[in-house]
Chains A and B, each alone.
Chain A
Amino acid sequence: MSNPEQPAVDWSRIARDGVWDNNVVMAQSLALCPLLAVTGTATNGLGLGLATAFVMVLSGLLVSVLRGIITPQVRIPVFVLIIAVLVTLVDLAMNAWMHDLHKVLGLFIPLIVTNCAILGRAESFASRQAPLPAMFDGLMMGVGFTLVLVALGAVREVIGSGTLFANASMLLGESLRWLELTLIPDYRGFLLMILPPGGFIAMGFLLAGKRVLDRRLAARKQARAAAAVPAGA
């Protein structure tokens, strides 16, 4: 089933791709619909991120296991079917056995189906890789997605409502109530940031910030290389 000449799996490469270099949102610009819909608060971002990461790991596994029998012509509907069934089953199981968590996350779970990033990873990675790397890729992509969701949610929440991680204890349990901060007391709120346009604006700044950082890093690397050449020669 698997290609014997397949190169060794570069685990750190997968991790770096998922979290930074090829980040779902920052580099691929995917998944913007659920992203902008829920990042009004950092807590909501975290909830959607965790749920998405979970589904990505499972879909990576399934797509990778089934890649031998799926033909290129019908792969897209099959992948969509796999993801939709997974999301529905996760929704049902959480509703039945993790009911308190479902009350908080339940709102986000159907949104996962609209996340084209999962389909994108199934298509471009999981359908060509062995199950373990595919699951790891799903996990790392999910972690990268979660980080962006939390960052964007935090920015919008602080500017929009003056709080951080509001209602986090509903998601994470009472022991993490200390996470809930009111940074600006008696804040009247800045509605634009909570509404989708504010999401786009904050998103733009985040993207620009990543570009600047990437450029700085590249410049520093180049400078170091340039400095190393004469020394080595």
Chain B
Amino acid sequence: MSTVANPTYRSRVGYQAGLLGGFAMVAAALLVMGDIATRDAIAERRAEDLLASLSQVIPAASHDNDLLADTLTLPGDDGDITVYRALRGLAVSGVAFETVGQGYAGPIRVLLGVGADGRVLGARVLAHTETPGLGDKIEAARDDWILAFDGKALGDPPESGWAVKKDGGDFDQFSGATITPRAVVGAVKAGLDLFARHRDALTASAVQQVASGE
């Protein structure tokens, strides 16, 4: 790139600073516009995804309400946790909520469905940043591993069983990825602990709310 061909004003600091600043401003403006243009659509897709995931962890036969409409909030360690309730009539047949484990490359968000009896109805990984080809076996679409949680509860397996086999527990790890399944097992366990702590509030409130509302 020859400087001879460039007019002299272009070699001034002011022009270059302005150029860089101008590009940064245009970039910022484009990103804002992109965000505004896509925000609603993305939120919609997220809601669809959430409903699809919820239907995987809460059997459709177990409830007759709109899962996205009947929610409770619980105070969690990192902000409030939204709990989706499955109601059959007024009785709570199960709840679903998000629980987070710290994976190899970032947080792993797990959607956990728990029956009123405290057993896992189903668990699905919503989002993760684990290594493709290694840690992504936690996705139900790629592997059956996540189905191993179905029907499990606190005490079944016992406390020591809530770990991957390498740590003396009941759940398989993957070859080459131990941290990822360990994080998911921990997240499910933490979710069940949370359910146990708030069991009364989570399973009894539907009737009470309706009763107090009348």
Q: Which residues of A contact B (CB under 8 A)?
A: 37-38, 40-41, 44, 69-74, 77-78, 81-82, 84-85, 88-89, 92-93, 95-97, 99, 107-108, 167, 170, 189, 191, 194-195
Chain A nearest CB, measured from B32 CB (Å): 11
A5 to B31, CA, bound (A): 38
A49 to B10, CA, bound (A): 37
Given contacts A44-B132, A71-B15, A107-B132, contact A81 B141 (CB under 8 A): no
Residues from chain B with Cβ under 8 Å of A69 in the complex: 19
- Interface membership of B4, Cβ < 8 A: no
Residues from chain A with Cβ under 8 Å of B134 in the complex: 40, 194-195
Given contacts A71-B10, A167-B142, contact A96 B133 (CB under 8 A): no
Q: Hey, what's the 0/1 contact readout for B30-56 against A, CB within 8 Å counting as 1? A: 110011011001100100110000000
Q: Which residues of B contact A (CB under 8 A)?
A: 1, 3, 6, 10-11, 15-16, 19-20, 23-24, 27, 30-31, 34-35, 37-38, 41-42, 45, 48-49, 129, 131-134, 141-142, 175-176
Residues from chain A with Cβ under 8 Å of B31 in the complex: 85, 88-89
Residues from chain B with Cβ under 8 Å of A84 in the complex: 27
A99 to B50, CA, bound (A): 13
Residues from chain A with Cβ under 8 Å of B176 in the complex: 191, 194-195
Residues from chain B with Cβ under 8 Å of A195 in the complex: 134, 176
A20 to B34, CA, bound (A): 36
Interface of chain B: mostly helix, strand, loop or mixed: helix
Residues from chain B with Cβ under 8 Å of A73 in the complex: 11, 16
| Listed A/B pairs (27) with beta-carbon separation below 8 Å | A38-B132, A40-B132, A41-B133, A44-B132, A71-B19, A72-B3, A73-B11, A74-B16, A74-B20, A78-B19, A82-B23, A85-B27, A85-B30, A88-B31, A89-B31, A92-B38, A93-B34, A93-B38, A95-B45, A96-B45, A97-B41, A99-B48, A108-B132, A170-B141, A191-B176, A194-B134, A194-B176
A167 to B142, CA, bound (A): 7
Interface of chain A: mostly helix, strand, loop or mixed: helix
A167 to B139, CA, bound (A): 12
Q: Is the CB of A74 within 8 A of B42?
A: no
A75, closest chain B residue (CB): B1
Residues from chain A with Cβ under 8 Å of B20 in the complex: 74, 77-78
Residues from chain A with Cβ under 8 Å of B129 in the complex: 107
11 additional contacts (CB under 8 A) given A74-B20, A81-B24, A92-B34: A37-B131, A40-B134, A72-B1, A82-B27, A88-B31, A92-B38, A93-B38, A97-B41, A99-B49, A191-B176, A194-B133
Given contacts A73-B16, A81-B23, A88-B31, contact A95 B133 (CB under 8 A): no
Residues from chain A with Cβ under 8 Å of B24 in the complex: 81
Q: Is the CB of B16 within 8 A of A92?
A: no
A108 to B10, CA, bound (A): 38
Q: Which of A38, A89, A93 has the most CB of B within 10 A?
A: A89
Q: Is the CB of A71 within 8 A of B6?
A: yes
Q: Is the CB of A92 within 8 A of B132?
A: no
Residues from chain A with Cβ under 8 Å of B37 in the complex: 92, 96
A92 to B30, CA, bound (A): 12
Chain A nearest CB, measured from B3 CB (Å): 8
Chain B nearest CB, measured from A86 CB (Å): 9
A89 to B35, CA, bound (A): 8
Residues from chain B with Cβ under 8 Å of A77 in the complex: 20
A40 to B48, CA, bound (A): 30
Residues from chain B with Cβ under 8 Å of A92 in the complex: 34-35, 37-38, 42
Determine which of A89, A97, A108 lies in contact with B30 in the assembled complex, contact meaning CB atoms within 8 Å.
A89
Chain B nearest CB, measured from A216 CB (Å): 33
Q: Is the CB of A40 within 8 A of B133?
A: yes
A95 to B3, CA, bound (A): 43
Residues from chain A with Cβ under 8 Å of B175 in the complex: 189, 191
B1, closest chain A residue (CB): A72
A40 to B136, CA, bound (A): 11
Q: Is the CB of A71 within 8 A of B38?
A: no
A37 to B24, CA, bound (A): 30
A170 to B139, CA, bound (A): 13
Given contacts A40-B132, A85-B27, A92-B34, contact A74 B41 (CB under 8 A): no
